[in-house]
């Protein structure tokens, strides 16, 4: 069994340079690779293209990279709760490609599966389809979308082992599974790194074949984007 465990986040990000394309798992602030993002900020890597459902909030998640102007282009499905993302997009400082959420997921999955492109009905007849090839199947129009090409995929899981097998927990099982294996190198950070043979194979969501490096994250804040509580009567 290949041991994919690395000592820390510094070792996990070896080979990261300016002007690369990254996939980053998560939905809002749920399931984001917090330790990796923090290290990218420290590295000061710039000119980045980031593929992620959204960009966190102003002072957390990918918002930290936006504050430092390390991201050149965002490929996302929506702006979300990030005012800085909105500001940079409207001012022209940041190149933004907004695509339907399902299309984002399928383009990740296509890259993961080695499929060069997909046809989807999402976006047909809208600005999202401008300049793209369209085709009719059984009387319905579809838009041609290409699989993503990324240098690194950064994902976050609940548990993992040295072989790279991953288990996601709750809503953190969002874009993380489809990004595993969808880039040249997949790096997984986990809350708990367990010995080989510990994980029940029937509970594994992503097998280790899709992961090249894995490490146990040091700190997880797990911030809540919009906290809602019930008022007492």
How does pLDDT run across 93-129, given as a tens digit for each residue?
A: 999 999 999 999 999 999 999 999 999 999 999 988 9
pLDDT band at 225 (very low <50, low <70, confident <90, very high): confident
Share of the chain above pLDDT 70, in %: 100
For the whole prediction, is pTM greater than 0.85? yes
In a domain, 227, yes or no: no
Q: For position 209, which CATH number holds?
A: 3.40.1080.10
Structure confidence at residue 83 (pLDDT): 87
How does pLDDT run across 155-188, given as a tens digit for each residue?
A: 999 999 999 999 999 988 999 999 999 999 999 9
In a domain, 195, yes or no: yes
In a domain, 158, yes or no: yes
Share of the chain above pLDDT 90, in %: 79
Instruction: Provide mean pLDDT across the span 196-219.
Output: 95
In a domain, 137, yes or no: no
Q: Is the pLDDT of residue 59 over 90?
A: no
Distance of alpha carbon 15 from alpha carbon 11, whole angstroms: 9
In a domain, 2, yes or no: no
pLDDT band at 139 (very low <50, low <70, confident <90, very high): very high
In a domain, 34, yes or no: yes
pLDDT band at 28 (very low <50, low <70, confident <90, very high): confident
pLDDT band at 79 (very low <50, low <70, confident <90, very high): confident
Contact 128, 161 (CB under 8 A): no
Q: Is the pLDDT of residue 1 over 70?
A: no
Of 53, 84, 62, 65, the C-alpha closest to 148 is 53
Instruction: Provide mean pLDDT across the span 23-45.
Output: 94
In a domain, 223, yes or no: no
Q: Which domain holds residue 90?
A: 9-115+148-216
Into how many domains does the chain fold?
1
Structure confidence at residue 88 (pLDDT): 92
In a domain, 43, yes or no: yes
Of 4, 2, 9, the C-alpha closest to 216 is 9
What mean pLDDT value characterizes the chain?
A: 93
Of 80, 85, 77, 86, the C-alpha closest to 122 is 77
Distance of alpha carbon 86 from alpha carbon 220, whole angstroms: 26
């Amino acid at each position: 069994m290949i041991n994919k465990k690395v000592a820390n986040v510094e070792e996990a990000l070896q080979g990261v340079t300016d002007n690369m394309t990254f996939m980053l798992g998560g939905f809002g602030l749920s399931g984001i690779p917090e330790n990796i993002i923090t290290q990218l900020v420290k590295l000061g890597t710039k000119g980045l293209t980031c593929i992620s459902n959204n960009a966190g909030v102003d002072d957390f998640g990918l918002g930290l990279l936006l504050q430092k102007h390390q991201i050149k282009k965002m490929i996302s499905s929506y702006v979300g709760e990030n005012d800085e993302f909105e500001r940079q997009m409207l001012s022209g400082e940041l190149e933004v490609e907004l695509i339907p959420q399902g299309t984002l997921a399928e383009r990740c999955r296509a890259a993961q599966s080695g499929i060069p492109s997909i046809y989807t009905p999402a976006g047909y007849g809208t600005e999202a389809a401008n300049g793209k090839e369209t085709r009719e199947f059984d009387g319905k129009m579809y838009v041609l979308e290409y699989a993503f090409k990324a240098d690194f995929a950064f994902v976050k899981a609940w548990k993992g082992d040295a072989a790279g097998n991953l288990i996601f927990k709750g809503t953190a099982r969002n874009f993380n599974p489809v990004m595993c294996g969808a880039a040249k190198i997949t790096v997984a950070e986990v809350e708990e790194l367990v010995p080989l043979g510990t994980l029940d194979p029937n509970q594994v969501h992503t097998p280790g074949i899709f992961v090249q490096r894995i490490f146990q994250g040091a700190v997880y804040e797990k911030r809540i984007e919009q906290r809602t509580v019930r008022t007492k009567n």
